[in-house]
């Protein structure tokens, strides 16, 4: 009887702390467009569980992935996808003119080129992500390789989450672009929006880029994130197998 009482007391003492930890709002921050510049390598030194989306076949892609992995960061593949405006895509690009087999082969080639990839997101893709059949080819590939997908939401008409759900691919979407502008006031505004959404819905994903201003802002902000009661997590910790809605006022896209 005494032993039972001791166990109950210990459980009661631990439960509030455990519950509080589980209820702590989470944010994931993905830094896109990694690999073109040697200066990108410095980004891996930022504190905490950051996620980096690396462009395939860029000069520093592999070196960055290796460094990031050894700094306990998460690595994603940042896949160039066809944009509405016809933007230049770069190597490893996927377009709607490609056959299903071509899309799968090109995506597999990109995935094989970068070590430690845990998932992918789209670079540009405002047109590609709207078209069902090409996105099916992407999700079939991710399903086979057990990878997740984060929709950068460069189009409000994206079908990515719906198709990912159909194939059982863990999926999430971007909630806030942090640095469409790089002045401090804008960065602070977007950061506060990300924190607000995390507190409101429990989780939120922000996307930024390796601009000097962004990296300097994050270095300072991430150092005090614990004081906000927010937990920084990898993108893989937020993805789910069911799609969720994105408020229309947040559909400020960035190709």
- Exposed / middle / buried, residue 37 (Cβ in 10 Å: 0-12, 13-18, 19+): middle
119-145 average pLDDT score = 98
- What confidence tens digit (pLDDT) does each residue in 169-222 have? 999 999 999 999 999 999 999 999 999 999 999 999 999 999 999 999 999 999
Structure token digits, residue 253? 């896209």
Q: Specify burial of residue 55 (Cβ count, 10 A radius: 0-12, 13-18, 19+).
A: buried
In total, the chain counts a number of residues equal to 255
d(CA 31, CA 234): 11
Question: Is the per-residue pLDDT at 233 higher than 80?
Answer: yes
Task: Let me know the angle formed at the C-alpha of 145 by 144 and 146, rounded to the nearest 5 degrees.
Answer: 95
How far the first Cα of the chain sits from its last, in Å, is: 65
* Cβ contact 82:106 at 8 Å: no
Non-local CB neighbours of 232 within 8 Å, separated by 6+ positions: 26, 27, 28, 29, 48, 49, 50, 222, 225
Q: Is 86 left (phi over 0), alpha (psi -120 to 50) or beta?
A: left
pLDDT for residue 253: 47
CA distance 113 to 61: 9
Is 7's pLDDT higher than 80?
A: no
Residue 172 φ then ψ, to 5°:
-150, 175
For residue 22, what pLDDT band results from cuts at 50, 70 and 90? low
Report helix, strand or coil for 245: coil
At 87 the pLDDT is: 87
- Topology adopted by domain 25-250: TIM Barrel (3.20.20)
pLDDT above 80 for 13 = no
The count of C-alpha atoms lying within 13 angstroms of the C-alpha of 215, restricted to the half-sphere facing its C-beta, is: 16
SS3 at position 214: helix
pLDDT at 52 over 90: yes
Band (pLDDT 50/70/90 cuts) for residue 98 is: very high
Residue 245 pLDDT > 80: no
- Of residues 109, 46, 102, 105, the one with CA closest to residue 77: 109
Q: Where are the alpha helices (DSSP H) in the chain?
A: 2-22, 61-70, 100-113, 132-145, 160-166, 184-201, 212-222
Q: What is the pLDDT of residues 26-36, one digit of tens each?
A: 999 999 999 99
Longest Cα–Cα distance of the chain, Å, equals 74
DSSP string, 88-108: ---TT-B-TTS-HHHHHHHHH
pLDDT band at 8 (very low <50, low <70, confident <90, very high): very low
């Amino acid at each position: 009887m005494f032993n039972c009482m001791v166990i109950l007391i210990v459980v009661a003492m631990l439960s509030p702390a455990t519950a509080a930890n589980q209820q702590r709002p989470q944010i994931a921050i993905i830094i896109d467009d990694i690999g073109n510049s040697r200066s990108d390598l410095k980004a891996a030194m930022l504190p905490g569980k950051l996620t980096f989306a690396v462009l395939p076949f860029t000069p520093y892609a592999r070196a960055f992935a290796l460094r990031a992995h050894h700094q306990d960061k998460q690595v994603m593949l940042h896949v160039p996808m066809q944009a509405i405006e016809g933007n230049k895509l770069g190597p490893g690009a996927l377009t709607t003119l490609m056959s299903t087999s071509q899309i799968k082969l090109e995506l597999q080639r990109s995935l094989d080129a970068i070590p430690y990839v845990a998932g992918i997101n789209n670079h540009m893709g405002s047109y590609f992500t709207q078209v069902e059949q090409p996105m099916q080819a992407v999700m079939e590939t991710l399903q086979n390789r057990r990878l997740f997908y984060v929709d950068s939401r460069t189009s409000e008409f994206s079908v990515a989450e719906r198709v990912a759900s159909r194939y059982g691919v863990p999926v999430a979407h971007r909630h806030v672009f942090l640095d469409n502008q790089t002045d401090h006031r804008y960065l602070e505004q977007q950061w506060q929006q990300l924190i607000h959404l995390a507190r409101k819905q429990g989780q939120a994903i922000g996307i930024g880029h390796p601009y000097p201003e962004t990296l300097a802002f994050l270095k300072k902000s991430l150092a005090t994130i614990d004081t906000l009661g927010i937990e920084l997590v990898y993108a893989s910790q937020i993805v789910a197998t069911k799609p969720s809605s994105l408020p229309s006022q947040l559909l400020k896209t960035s190709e």
